[in-house]
Structure 1
């Protein structure tokens, strides 16, 4: 099965800032290989309002926005040290749960009958941030000079390293004001938990659930149901390619007919009920195996929010 798109975790510019995103989840062995017990499996089709065990450790949309604003404030203050006025653009205000409606593929019969596989009906594209022109010196302050050594993973470490460049009589931080602002908010001290730790645990649980024998059997049942109606498809989350569709036809009559059958077969196979229950079990196991780090992550999140409040985030 093709991998599920990761839930959006809007840590402003963090993808370019982190050199490693290890989840530190179970590192293999007998426990990792054993499929967790799941108990009674409910019959369900709708994915609206799904909740997972790791949700209690995730950063909420409101908290994430506050942290983004705090990072932008730190970056702006950093740029002022070098004589530049610059506003770090904020990411689009997208809910971190927006991908859950199709976490297990199309599951809404009404949507299927009306739109087929056409995504984001009625959604407006996010406004593009205003272009801010920077001189070569301004870009150096923002992004830092080329640096071949290991990137600092905490603000403490960043302050102790020399990038080899100065502007306005001050040392330019490695990674510039962008990285300094990120480390200020997300990793002020050595030993901070990876900002993507909880997200990585969630992705790990989803990946393991996809290979679980009970989910594999449910997918085969869904595929057999589709075959009975003349559709050859093996991938329930994104079956468009299997069905011979392209983006220009996702909302056409052929796609709508296939989408309606897709949802009906998911209901018949109880694919959502089985997959959700199995994924939940893997999340619970990840919580048990990473309890100490998760508690530390929650403590550090509270510290970040206090910092953000002090910065007017």
Structure 2
């Protein structure tokens, strides 16, 4: 049986995966092979303070926290109807980009201390835990096993017969977790796919990776690594190329390679070139999808207003 906290966290994060009943394209570009102009390329290494054109359309860490609080409140109120006191365990909400993810490792201090160790030596946050609700409480939280399609609206969830009751009340299909989720994220007719903005960004990143200017920068980085005896072609995640595994990411050999990795990125100006190219593709995608992106931003603001009323 899956732990209650794990199920709750899945529901908290499932909004990011909801893609039904959406309008517009999937966030991709027009398929043009023309590479956008980029102008002057700055010399960059750190990614910590970079900002992108799409940032204005993305959900911020603070906004995600407010949405989570509202979802937690709705779920808790639902559980009270069945006689249980329950609060959703909070999922970790972080802001900004990981320096070791978008363009690979770029911090010389981190490389020298931790190599390719995930979380850069930071203590892992404790896994969220929930109370022991017992079989009845778990039934209210998660709903009974249901083989049909999951409801996509509150009305549908309440209209479907789950076949179970508690304290004289029908348990909704998907339980209180589904009710809390649907209250905020149930798709409406003509609404923009909840993943649209993310898809626009992913498309720009993917196209930038194949852009001739980035390809040339990656080759320059790879050649620099080869000069020092390291055979690597993938700058974002070179661990496999370097013969490292999870047990050796922080080893002296890994640290030596990581230091050279960062030095070669600086020498090739990989971050400066890649960031500039990706920014250009984001701007192009914004121009091509301006109407849908603006609609997505409006719908996010409406969801945040609803969240404010629900959180109390």
TM-score by length of 2: 0.85
Change (3 A) 1:120 1:282: same
| Map of 1:7 onto structure 2 | none
Q: Greater shift after overlay, 129-138 or 47-56?
A: 129-138
| Shift, 1:194, TM fit | 3.1
Task: Return closer, same or farther for 1:305/1:149 CA change in 2, 3 Å cut-off.
Answer: same
Report whether the alignment pairs 1:58 with 2:58: yes
Match of 1:48 in 2: 48
- Counterpart of 2:223? 224
Two-structure CA RMSD over aligned residues (Å): 2.7
Distance between the aligned counterparts of 2:43 and 2:50, measured in 1? 14
Counterpart for residue 278 of structure 1: 277
Quote how far apart the aligned CAs of 1:188 are.
6.6
Are residue 72 (structure 1) and residue 84 (structure 2) matched?
no
Alignment CA distance shift 1:266-1:302 (3 Å): same
The 1:171–1:39 alpha-carbon spacing in structure 2 relative to 1, beyond 3 Å, is: farther
Deviation at 1:275, TM superposition (A): 1.0
Q: Does 1:206 align with 2:202?
A: no
Cα offsets for 1:109-159 (capped at 9, x unmatched):
222223322233352221233332233332222222333333333335444
By how many angstroms is 1:193 displaced?
2.8
Q: Note the 1:129-140 alignment, pairs <5 A.
A: 129-140=128-139
Normalised to the residue count of structure 1, the TM-score between the two structures is: 0.85
The answer on whether the counterparts of 1:145 and 1:163 sit within 8 Å (CA) in structure 2 is yes
Q: Which runs of 5+ in 1 are unaligned?
A: 1-9
Q: Write the distance in 1 (CA, Å) between the matches of 2:140 and 2:83.
A: 9
Cross-structure match for 1:249:
248
Q: Tell me the number of residue pairs that the alignment of Structure 1 and Structure 2 aligns.
A: 302
Give structure 1 regions of 4+ aligned residues with deviation exceeding 4 angstroms.
19-23, 26-30, 159-162
Aligned-residue offset at 1:200: 2.6
Determine if contact 2:29/2:288 at 8 Å carries over to the other structure: no
| Residue of structure 2 in register with 1:85 after alignment | 85
* CA–CA separation in structure 1 for the residues paired with 2:11 and 2:131: 21
SS state of the match for residue 99, structure 1? coil
TM-superposed CA distance for 1:253, in Å, is 2.4
1:17 and 1:179 in contact (8 A); partners too:
no
For structure 2, the 5+ residue unaligned runs are 1-9
Distance 1:300 1:274 in 2: 34
